[in-house]
Amino acid sequence: MATAETAGLAPVMAFALVGALGVGSQWIAWRLRMPAIVLMLVAGLAVGPGLGILDPGRDFGALLQPMVAIAVAIILFEGGLTLNLGGLRDAATGVKRLVVLGAPLGWIASAAALHYVAGLSWATSAVFGGIMIVTGPTVIAPLLRQARLRRRPAALLQWEAIVNDPVGALAAVLAFEVVVVTQSAGSAGHAALDVASGIALAAFLGLSAGWGMARAFARGMVPEYMKVPVLFVLVLGVFGVSDWVLHEAGLLAVTLMGLVIANVELPSYTELRRFKEQATVMLVSGVFILLAANMDRATLAALDIRALLFVLAVILLARPAAVLLSLAFSDVPWAERLLIALTGPRGVVLVAVAGLFGERLAGIGIEDGAQIAPLAFALVAATVVLHGFTLSPLARLLGLTAAERPGVMIVGGSPWSVALARALKGLDLPVIVVDPNYMRLRGAREAEIETYFGDLLSEDAEHRLDLVRYEHVIAATDNDAYNTLVTTDLGPEFGREKVFQLKRSRETSARHTLPATLGGRPVAPNETYLEANRRISEGWEFRTTRLTEEFDLEDWRSRNPEAVLVADLDAAGTLRFLGPEESPREQPGTCILVLAPKRAERKEA
């Protein structure tokens, strides 16, 4: 019987292994609060060049490159879907400079590092330098999710990564065409015309496909259950045609297509984007595993001291110089400039495109083109590990995190909401009270609690509220239907285990019982709006108590028989709201949040 290393894995087994490693790495990273990209990189290297279990080139054969290309196209399309122009209110100037000035400056600085530090020829340096413009939306997205940055620096990094990905690929195409002309007797004008026409066609296809699909969806020409399949087929078609006309132009086309759909106020936009986000998580996981496993030991062994110096030059010189020069004399604060300058992770697009152009350069007689692939992998590995572990501490050092501890958003400005918000604020947790009625926010304002006047589901709230600061949502208005709508809408965003609402007044009636897919979880003591606020008017209050070895939960219960447990906060600062049947963690150092009669009115000693 042949071993896995000699015969290879069956394609189905290889697919299953890639999926298990990718998604498993993301889940383990979530549990351990580690950068997921780092674990995926380690997993891919372990099963690939490490143990020889998975060899993508052997196990998938000719399908490997098309698989990676399609995955990258879908990832960039989903990235375009996140680029709502309304989110550019505070970051428009910085994004324009990073794209218009930062991209060419980064190209020049990267090419110089490749030539003078890595020792590559100017031809290879020009092509690879163009590819290095990209900063990897596949890496930026999970890093931003973990680091919890403020809105503007997060928007700057996200927009730069997504917009510059196709720009970098097209810069490499342009440089490659110039190299081909100089290596042959071809016409420079003819090469430039080919590139320009390819880019124009890709832009036309992307914009027209996005606009046409949005119009078709809005007019009901596609049934709801077919919208996602139609979307996928159209993305693949636009990418395939654009890439056939001009290599890598498909990346530009699908990015523009996603950008159009994100900004036409499509009714189905939220559902489409959520599905695409889930697909992208799987694709990012799979592509990272594949690219890491596809590296061979000989290629990795070829990385020497010059490769290390090249990586350091890019991270410490080329990237900071390009960013700081492009943002000079802008309204972007210095702290944000430094964070962006020192944050430039590269991802799957760099490795995939670099490998392709390395082969093409070697094919036309430029021998050092073969060095592009190992250098690209070294840069991706170094930046992924470095920024995966340093972005959060660097953001905290520069004061650019949304909040040191994730907080709570309370919808509804009733006395119950204000009392709960005051108690949470006493625990040093960020808390905000949201209500579309300005007068109902009076109590929260008098208690010096942060407020937002407006509808939480409005477009204005989406752009003005920094939702990344908050981990829990409690819908506590006097409108049960609105509470259900809020928690249902925000459930996928926050996680359904993190959205709560007051008990619906007709919940006990079988005729009015909602399915489990709608609404939020009950929050102790599981009372309706009227019942909860009646407690406050009768003199009940929210209080906190810290458990110790000498004063445990049983001691507390014996002294507070009427009190109701609402939430607990462990020693690490993790807040957990309790359902009616849940018990708090009983470790010493845990702080419990309770609803109880005021101390002066308690009958017991």
* Percentage of the residues of the chain whose pLDDT score is greater than 90: 14
Cα–Cα distance for residue pair 343/203, rounded to 1 Å: 29
- 577: β partners: 567
SS3 (DSSP) at 513: coil
pLDDT (0 to 100) of residue 2: 40
Ranges in the chain annotated CATH 1.20.1530.20: 63-397
Q: What would the pLDDT profile of 178-233 be if each residue is shown by its tens digit?
A: 777 666 655 666 667 777 787 888 889 989 998 988 888 888 888 877 888 888 88
pLDDT (0 to 100) of residue 534: 92
Q: Between 48 and 507, where is the model more confident?
A: 48
Query: 3-state SS of 82-141?
Result: CCCHHHHCCCHHHHHHHHHCHHHHHHHHHHHHHHHCCCCCHHHHHHHHHHCCCCCHHHHH
Q: Which residues in 50-88 are b (16+ Cβ under 10 Å) and which e?
A: bebbbbbebbbeeebbebbbbbbbbbbbbbbbbbbeebb
Angle formed at CA 252 by CA 250 and CA 256, multiple of 5 degrees: 120
Ranges in the chain annotated CATH 3.40.50.720: 407-601
Q: What would the pLDDT profile of 362-388 be if each residue is shown by its tens digit?
A: 777 787 887 887 888 888 888 888 888
Cα–Cα distance for residue pair 60/537, rounded to 1 Å: 68
Q: Is the pLDDT of residue 5 over 60?
A: no
For residue 502, the one-letter residue type is L
Answer CATH for 407-601 from 3.40.1390.10, 3.30.413.10, 3.40.50.10260, 3.40.50.720: 3.40.50.720
Question: What is the third-level CATH fold of 63-397?
Answer: Na+/H+ antiporter like fold (1.20.1530)
pLDDT (0 to 100) of residue 191: 66
Cα–Cα distance for residue pair 347/332, rounded to 1 Å: 26
Confidence bin at 321 (pLDDT 50/70/90): very high
Q: Is the pLDDT of residue 504 over 70?
A: yes
The answer for residues whose C-beta is within 8 angstroms of residue 402's C-beta and 6 or more apart is 148, 149, 150, 151, 466, 468, 469
* Percentage of the residues of the chain whose pLDDT score is greater than 70: 88
Place of tokens 């690219």: 291
Radius of gyration of the chain (CA): 27
Mean pLDDT, the chain, rounded, equals 81
Confidence bin at 154 (pLDDT 50/70/90): confident
- Please report, to the nearest 10 degrees, the dihedral formed by the alpha carbons of residues 525, 526, 528, 533 taken in order: 20
- 75-84, 402-411, 450-459, 592-601: least confidently modelled range: 75-84
Q: What would the pLDDT profile of 254-295 be if each residue is shown by its tens digit?
A: 888 888 887 877 766 666 666 666 777 777 778 778 878 887
